[in-house]
Structure 1
Amino acid sequence: MNATHPAHIQRRAIPAGFIEALRERFGDRLSTAAAVREHHGRDESPYAAMPPDAVVYATSTEEVAWVAAHCHRHHVPLIPYGVGSSLEGHLLAVQGGVSLDLSGMNHIVAVHAEDFTATVQAGVTRKQLNDHIRDTGLFFPIDPGADASLGGMAATRASGTNAVRYGTMRENVVSLKVVTADGRIIDTAGRARKSSAGYDLTRVFVGSEGTLGIITEVTVRLYPQPEAISAAICNFPDLRSAVQSVIEVIQMGVPVARVEFMDTAAVRATNAYSKLTLKESPLLLFEFHGSPSGVREQAETVQEIARANGGEDFAWAEHPEDRNRLWTARHNAYFAGLQLRPGCRSSTTDVCVPISRLAECVTETAAELDQASFPYTIVGHVGDGNFHVLMLLDPDNPAEFAESEALNRRLVERAIRMQGTCTGEHGVGLHKMPFMEMEFGRDALDLMAALKRAFDPHNILNPGKIIPSGPATEHAA
């Protein structure tokens, strides 16, 4: 199984002496070993590996700037690499070049608890940050499931289970330190809560997937740890009843912290993988944050709405160890799903629609998937209209992959028709690139391409991603 866009799969020649100059600068932190290159040319997407020509392990912003300037000078592609957990082919070296591994940039620069901010290097993971600040009474809420790096999360505009209450990386990045394509180092903002000075460069780089600059430091918002936390599971007779309950909860303005959906197949897989005994029917997993009385009031309102839609009484998980077990199981739903078909490769896609269209979008999607020749699961951060489909494919069966791509296309068309988006969380990478014009129109894409040319005139930064190929994005060497 190999999803490719041939127009982009054309490796650039590496100039003589280029790799040797990298080796002289970085020594054993430069690798051209096949296994290392293969590792950095593969993610969790359905694509075959597309390895870089070399991998550099950077430890400072200044080293990143040196590599960028060197690549810019010689027109060599440069792809930032965090922990490799992306799902849409973001970090594949489609034109070869250098993979810049930022995992060694894992220092927490500063915590300003009194201002509710923390500044970290790009390789710091969300779990590392939360472990570091636990004793301050604060936490960082963005939780995409994987223990992703903060730099990668900013680059892909990540969100996750807490987004319904705390927002996404877009709302929670205060400022960035970025290395430009030609090796300059810039700060996009200070730490003030607001500013009306100039263009909002922070938001330009958040979600740019390494195509406009390389994020080396991130300043993020922190939040007080809730006084009380409670989680509950509610099973439903069918998918529509569960999703309709979410719609009504959100429209009522109940400030739930998390509300996650799992279809029957996802619950079955989770039970087997995480050794749980959840009832195997569509379910919602809620978490409530606040004061004890506030949490109780939220839960009562939500349970009343759920019952009106055929939901069962809540099964509570009030002890921290029980909550952690449930959320760990939910985060492992991807790996659990893979076990439904041993030896399979997944094609995982997501869309996001206005909350009022969510039930319609999910049920139409499930009806189509029920006719597929392969198993699937649906899970979702449905509190913000975002859901994910995991299609479990035989890697030796091209027909299944073609079928999954057709289903994915119809899903995206459905979401855009409902005024949604082709990706609410995964990002564009390679896999969602064909849908960008459908969502934005040609004029908007041309403007994005002009921005790309201005920031990266030689098209070295993660080339062949986000914007479809064409005259506006051809290599300007």
Structure 2
Amino acid sequence: MTNINNIEVSKDPAVLETYSRDVSNFKIVPLCVFFPRSTEEVQAVVLSAKEEGVSVTVRAGGTCMSGGPINSGYIIDLTRYMNSVAVDGESKTAVVDAGAYFRDVEDAALAHGLFFAGYPSSNRICGIGGMLGNNASGEKSLRHGATGVNVISLEVVLADGSVVTLTRKPLNEVVDEREQKALAMYEAHAAALRDAIGDVKKCASGYRLDEVVKDGVFSEIPLMVGSQGTLGIITKATLNLVPLPAHVGLLVVSAQSLEDLSDIIATAYEHNPEGLETFDKNTFARARVHLSEYAEKVVPYVDVNAELFILIQLSEDTADATAAQAAACYESLLSRGYFVKQIQEPVDVEAAWMVRRNSFTLMRDHNEEGFRAMPCIEDVIVPLPALGTFIHELIAILERREITYGFHGHIGDGSFRVVPIFDFRKETLTDDIFGLMDDVFALIKRLRGNMSADHSDGIIRTPFLESFYGSTLAGAFAEIKQIYDPENRLNPGKKVGGTKEDILKTLQR
């Protein structure tokens, strides 16, 4: 039954085709797409899905790289109507519908001299709901944290159709049966999960049971954020905003050797950077051809023969303090023998950021016939001291497998966007993809890193969760799913239950 309380719905083949994809290479045609106008209408769709025995998957901007918002059954698109944004400049908060686009939140916050720290590279086209679903982060998250740590409260429709508000509360106020079960899971598995996640600054794989309790405070927010709509459908969020930096300075380092990367990052950290981002020589070469209006403005500031380029953004409260900080960082890097320059012209600063923000698009959109970018290891993260070792061994893996690649990322967190390019005409395509993932995830685990920083698991990484975390923790993830979604209606196959066979069936050749 798709005629539910006169809620707007489409079964038009062209619409279903659009909603069968995200930015990944997967495709699943849904049964229909709903466009609710309120939390009550979302509730009605969830109850109908339960009655009809079909799945329900929520979607915002559709910019996910892992296949997160695509599925059979019902799709709920929140962006058409549930997109209100209300910013309170005095309290530095925003109450936003999950269907709001980040750009609208940003514009409203900027009017008060504020911004939301999640800020992914897709910030002009992504939705807040997707950022919450994946626990997104970006170039402004180094100092202020990823999406999840900036969430004050959530309104969520659970699998049984009930609507709950999730906040933070003292442990002695945990009385709800669902909360008590989540707390028990935390007590049973948090220590093992923290160890398995690795020595990394952020992680979006699995369910973050380890963060359910922090400093004696209980919250289900860390479970819901990053769950890709598998535990509940977020309809509204109250977000913490931070003051916009009044003054910024930008340095760019041209790294001649990959082994220097850890030292460059450590040196930059001595000067309290606001942002640390990177893109490699392969990405920059494509930018000079396909994004030349920006890339050529960057050329005077770099050694074009370098292995990779690191953007270091610094900010303080005053222009003088920012200038002094930038100068000190510059001198520290120069004294260690690195090729470093400061970019001062605003148009050139923007050009450098445009190259970085378009790094994935450059690797995705400009390949020879038959070749495609395949997000699969694009979200790995490693401890900062291991960066040089990781990149050196990663490139050895890619070259041994004869895979073209580019990489970029939030290097200040150790988060690396590795974009492999595969020949989609080869009969061995999926074996090649799985083999690369096995090799890289084994390397990541050995270095105490993680396979997902902020893109989450989706179709592509869910089948690898058990091998990475072990059967006990994979079982804990399944138990959490059972607590919140016992009938497996909410975005099934993500986080729990997804298999390599799902990849084989949905990958578009």
Smaller-chain TM-score bracket: 0.7 to 0.9
* AA matched with 1:412: F
Runs of 4+ more than 6 Å apart: none
Match of 1:135 in 2: 111
- Which of 122, 139, 148 lines up with 1:146 in the alignment? 122
Kept in 2: contact 1:137–1:225 (CA 8 A): yes
- Which of 116, 119, 136 lines up with 2:95 in the alignment? 119
Report the 3-state secondary structure (helix = DSSP H, G, I; strand = E; otherwise coil) of the residue aligned with 1:114: coil
Kept in 2: contact 1:175–1:189 (CA 8 A): yes
- Give the Cα–Cα distance (whole angstroms) in 2 for the partners of residues 79 and 121 of structure 1: 17
Report the 3-state secondary structure (helix = DSSP H, G, I; strand = E; otherwise coil) of the residue aligned with 2:481: helix
- State whether structure 2 residue 348 is matched by structure 1 residue 313: no
* AA matched with 2:101: T
- Give the Cα–Cα distance (whole angstroms) in 2 for the partners of residues 437 and 298 of structure 1: 45
Match of 1:81 in 2: 59
The structure-2 alpha-carbon separation of the partners of 1:306 and 1:435, relative to structure 1 and needing over 3 Å to count, comes to farther
Match of 2:145 in 1: 167
Report the 3-state secondary structure (helix = DSSP H, G, I; strand = E; otherwise coil) of the residue aligned with 2:460: coil
- Give the Cα–Cα distance (whole angstroms) in 1 for the partners of residues 289 and 90 of structure 2: 44
- CA displacement at 1:463 relative to structure 2: 0.3
TM alignment of 1:91-240, pairs within 5 A: 91-93=69-71, 96-147=72-123, 148-189=126-167, 197-198=173-174, 199-240=218-259
- State whether structure 2 residue 31 is matched by structure 1 residue 53: yes
- CA displacement at 1:271 relative to structure 2: 2.1
- CA displacement at 1:109 relative to structure 2: 4.4
Kept in 2: contact 1:272–1:336 (CA 8 A): no
Kept in 1: contact 2:481–2:496 (CA 8 A): no
- Give the Cα–Cα distance (whole angstroms) in 2 for the partners of residues 33 and 111 of structure 1: 36
- Which of 366, 391, 394 lines up with 1:365 in the alignment? 394
Match of 2:183 in 1: none
The structure-2 alpha-carbon separation of the partners of 1:265 and 1:310, relative to structure 1 and needing over 3 Å to count, comes to farther
- Give the Cα–Cα distance (whole angstroms) in 2 for the partners of residues 82 and 469 of structure 1: 22
- Which of 279, 287, 304 lines up with 1:262 in the alignment? 279
- Give the Cα–Cα distance (whole angstroms) in 1 for the partners of residues 149 and 81 of structure 2: 23
User: Once structures 1 and 2 are overlaid, which stretch shifts more, 386-395 or 100-109?
Assistant: 100-109
Kept in 1: contact 2:268–2:312 (CA 8 A): no
Match of 1:447 in 2: 476
Kept in 1: contact 2:82–2:100 (CA 8 A): yes
- CA displacement at 1:448 relative to structure 2: 1.8
- State whether structure 2 residue 269 is matched by structure 1 residue 288: no
- State whether structure 2 residue 354 is matched by structure 1 residue 328: yes
TM alignment of 1:240-251, pairs within 5 A: 240-250=259-269
Note the alpha carbon deviations across 1:299-357, whole angstroms, 9 max, x for none.
234323433554213141442x4333322221111111134414432112221111111
- CA displacement at 1:398 relative to structure 2: 3.6
Match of 1:394 in 2: 423
Match of 2:437 in 1: 408
User: Once structures 1 and 2 are overlaid, which stretch shifts more, 70-79 or 291-300?
Assistant: 291-300
- CA displacement at 1:128 relative to structure 2: 1.0
- Give the Cα–Cα distance (whole angstroms) in 2 for the partners of residues 448 and 173 of structure 1: 22
Report the 3-state secondary structure (helix = DSSP H, G, I; strand = E; otherwise coil) of the residue aligned with 1:110: strand
- CA displacement at 1:416 relative to structure 2: 1.4
- CA displacement at 1:245 relative to structure 2: 0.5
- Give the Cα–Cα distance (whole angstroms) in 2 for the partners of residues 249 and 313 of structure 1: 11
Report the 3-state secondary structure (helix = DSSP H, G, I; strand = E; otherwise coil) of the residue aligned with 1:100: strand
- CA displacement at 1:412 relative to structure 2: 1.3
Higher relative contact order (CA 8 A, sep 6+): 2
User: Once structures 1 and 2 are overlaid, which stretch shifts more, 327-336 or 103-112?
Assistant: 103-112
Measured on the aligned residues, the alpha-carbon RMSD in Å equals 2.0
Kept in 2: contact 1:378–1:389 (CA 8 A): yes
The structure-2 alpha-carbon separation of the partners of 1:159 and 1:336, relative to structure 1 and needing over 3 Å to count, comes to same
- CA displacement at 1:34 relative to structure 2: 1.9
- CA displacement at 1:366 relative to structure 2: 1.5
Match of 2:14 in 1: 35
Report the 3-state secondary structure (helix = DSSP H, G, I; strand = E; otherwise coil) of the residue aligned with 1:359: helix
* AA matched with 2:353: W
Match of 2:506 in 1: none
Report the 3-state secondary structure (helix = DSSP H, G, I; strand = E; otherwise coil) of the residue aligned with 2:249: strand
Match of 2:200 in 1: none
Number of aligned pairs? 440
Where structure 2 has 5 or more consecutive residues not aligned to the other structure, the ranges are 175-217, 500-509
- Give the Cα–Cα distance (whole angstroms) in 1 for the partners of residues 285 and 358 of structure 2: 13
- Which of 383, 392, 407 lines up with 1:378 in the alignment? 407
- Give the Cα–Cα distance (whole angstroms) in 2 for the partners of residues 37 and 405 of structure 1: 29
Kept in 1: contact 2:85–2:105 (CA 8 A): no
Report the 3-state secondary structure (helix = DSSP H, G, I; strand = E; otherwise coil) of the residue aligned with 2:48: helix
User: What TM-score results when the alignment is normalised by the length of structure 1?
Assistant: 0.87
- Which of 5, 10, 25 lines up with 2:6 in the alignment? 25
- CA displacement at 1:454 relative to structure 2: 1.5
User: What TM-score results when the alignment is normalised by the length of structure 2?
Assistant: 0.82
* AA matched with 1:220: L
* AA matched with 1:257: E
Identity of aligned residues (%): 27
* AA matched with 1:456: D
Report the 3-state secondary structure (helix = DSSP H, G, I; strand = E; otherwise coil) of the residue aligned with 2:475: helix
Kept in 1: contact 2:379–2:452 (CA 8 A): yes
Match of 2:186 in 1: none
Note the alpha carbon deviations across 1:211-269, whole angstroms, 9 max, x for none.
0000111111111111201222221212222343113433x3x3211111111101111
